[in-house]
Chains A and B, each alone.
Chain A
Amino acid sequence: MSLDIELARRVGTRDICARIKTDSRIAGLVGPSGAGKTTILNMIAGLVRPDSGHVQIDDVVLFDSAQKIDLPAYRRGCGYVFQEARLFPHLRVRANLLYGRRDRRKRDVDGIAEMLGIGHLLQRWPATLSGGEAQRVAIGRTLLSNPRLLLLDEPLSSLDGERRTDLLALILRIHQSTAIPILYVSHDLRELDTLDADVISLADRR
């Protein structure tokens, strides 16, 4: 796969810019807090509109300010795992997992649940899950939406030591067992080392 992203947006008095061009199946975006990493993911996912730029995954153009292409977020197919799980509180885990499921490629819910180790949680309400469990469900929900790109925004940030190692191993397994390209945001280079990601640094341009 190839990612070709160039984005710029002015937020208040500072400019958030990113240039990501990689052929690696897993890329890591690093930068200090406040450099705008999350804003960049939001722009790629279509949740925030860039002032200018270009977002292309393989030969699919999601956004291009010059050509006036701007696919709405729900048509971009960017699976987004946020820092917080953002599970829907009024739906059980199973319904959360199925929310974005697309049928054109039938993926087995039970298979995904097993890989993520959440098979025993399917009937639970999100409010009863621990942070790690909730994050796994969020990852499962995103995978089942059959994304063309997986955006992970510091998915380990709300977890403690052992849970972090577990989840990182899980992300590595997802990377190895699926063909979905991953853009992984972190401020910890060791995580990206473990994933063997192509590292892209975001300069702080305040």
Chain B
Amino acid sequence: MMAPLSVDEWTIIGLSLRISIAAVILMLPIALGLAWTLARYRFPGKMLLDAIVHLPLVLPPVVTGWLLLLLFGQNGPIGHWLSHWFGISLLFRWTGAALAAAIMAMPLMVRVIRLAIESIDPRLEQAALTLGAPPLRSFLTISLPLAFPGLVAGMILGFARCMGEFGATITFVSNIPGETETIPIAIYAAMQTPGSEMLVARLVLISVILSIGALIIAEYLTRRMADRRRIDVARY
């Protein structure tokens, strides 16, 4: 049980990390934009947008995976476009796994980042405007730094979600060792193979350690944010 990790195990862990990190980096600007829009603007169709953002949270993951297959498959509207213009195919590739993980992490990331943005007093941005700061400067120097702990918490929770992603990934990009075989998929595959109980146990342990670590860091950052907010409320 405590033997060093084998090459195959390192490959699985490395692939999981690579996919999750790529997914979070891909989703961060999108989640920030969505969270900002939902937190700060009122517009027709806002409830619909909110619902679409939350869809991956409530849909069966296999449905999300199937929808991705439909959109990004060779004959899907986006997949056809990507392969025609850029020669890119996401099917059965680690990039496809990253896309699936990103979509599954989106609701969680948007929720956390949105809460952080809503906790920023918009009157501070008004003050920055009257001091001559154009909206972009006031965003970069006031809003973004104040939302930063929430942004990091959202990234970490999203990362943890990506590390655990299974259903949409296996539906969309299948299980290809070294390309799309992440920790959860490897656990599932090992469970189907007699005599792999030790591999299952080791991968489960690694998965638990990574997830708990991520949750602790996210919790710590969220608390720090709440503390700061309390100070603000007391002051203003």
Interface residues of A, Cβ cutoff 8 Å to B: 45-47, 72-80, 82, 84-90, 99-100, 102, 126-127, 129, 134, 141-142, 145
Looking at chain A's contact residues, the main secondary structure is: loop
Whether the pair B133, A100 counts as a contact (CB closer than 8 A) is: yes
- Chain A residues within 8 Å of B131, by CB: 74, 79, 99-100, 141-142, 145
* Least Cβ–Cβ distance between B46 and chain A, in angstroms: 21
Q: Which of A46, A79, A86, A127 contacts B123 (CB 8 A)?
A: A86
Known: A88-B142, A89-B146, A90-B145. A77 touches B235 (CB 8 A): no
Known: A77-B132, A80-B127. A86 touches B145 (CB 8 A): no
Whether the pair B236, A85 counts as a contact (CB closer than 8 A) is: yes
Q: Closest B residue to A146 by CB, please name it.
A: B132
- Chain B residues within 8 Å of A76, by CB: 130
Whether the pair B232, A89 counts as a contact (CB closer than 8 A) is: yes
User: How far is B126's CA from A78's CA once the two chains are assembled, in angstroms?
Assistant: 12
Interface-centre pick from A73, A126, A127 (highest chain B CB count, 10 A): A73
Which B residues from 128 to 185 make CB contacts under 8 A with A? 128-135, 138, 141-142, 145-146
Q: Closest A residue to B137 by CB, please name it.
A: A74
Whether the pair A89, B132 counts as a contact (CB closer than 8 A) is: no
User: How far is B123's CA from A87's CA once the two chains are assembled, in angstroms?
Assistant: 10
Which B residues from 44 to 84 make CB contacts under 8 A with A? none
Whether the pair B235, A80 counts as a contact (CB closer than 8 A) is: no
- Chain B residues within 8 Å of A79, by CB: 130-131
Known: A89-B146, A89-B232, A127-B232. A74 touches B127 (CB 8 A): no
Whether the pair B132, A82 counts as a contact (CB closer than 8 A) is: no
Whether the pair A74, B132 counts as a contact (CB closer than 8 A) is: yes
* Least Cβ–Cβ distance between B58 and chain A, in angstroms: 36
- Chain A residues within 8 Å of B231, by CB: 89, 127
B228: interface (CB < 8 Å): yes
Q: Which of A74, A134, A141 contacts B129 (CB 8 A)?
A: A74
Interface residues of B, Cβ cutoff 8 Å to A: 121, 123-124, 126-135, 138, 141-142, 145-146, 228, 231-232, 234-236
Whether the pair B235, A99 counts as a contact (CB closer than 8 A) is: no
- Chain A residues within 8 Å of B145, by CB: 90
Whether the pair B146, A90 counts as a contact (CB closer than 8 A) is: yes
Whether the pair B129, A73 counts as a contact (CB closer than 8 A) is: yes
Q: Which of A80, A102, A127, A129 contacts B130 (CB 8 A)?
A: A80
Whether the pair B124, A88 counts as a contact (CB closer than 8 A) is: yes
* Least Cβ–Cβ distance between B119 and chain A, in angstroms: 11
* Least Cβ–Cβ distance between A91 and chain B, in angstroms: 8
User: How far is B113's CA from A7's CA once the two chains are assembled, in angstroms?
Assistant: 38
* Least Cβ–Cβ distance between B149 and chain A, in angstroms: 10
Interface-centre pick from B126, B234, B235 (highest chain A CB count, 10 A): B235
- Chain B residues within 8 Å of A129, by CB: 235
* Least Cβ–Cβ distance between A29 and chain B, in angstroms: 17
Q: Which of A45, A72, A86, A141 contacts B236 (CB 8 A)?
A: A86
- Chain A residues within 8 Å of B123, by CB: 82, 84, 86
* Least Cβ–Cβ distance between B171 and chain A, in angstroms: 43
Whether the pair A78, B130 counts as a contact (CB closer than 8 A) is: yes
User: How far is B131's CA from A86's CA once the two chains are assembled, in angstroms?
Assistant: 12
- Chain B residues within 8 Å of A75, by CB: 132
Whether the pair A102, B132 counts as a contact (CB closer than 8 A) is: yes
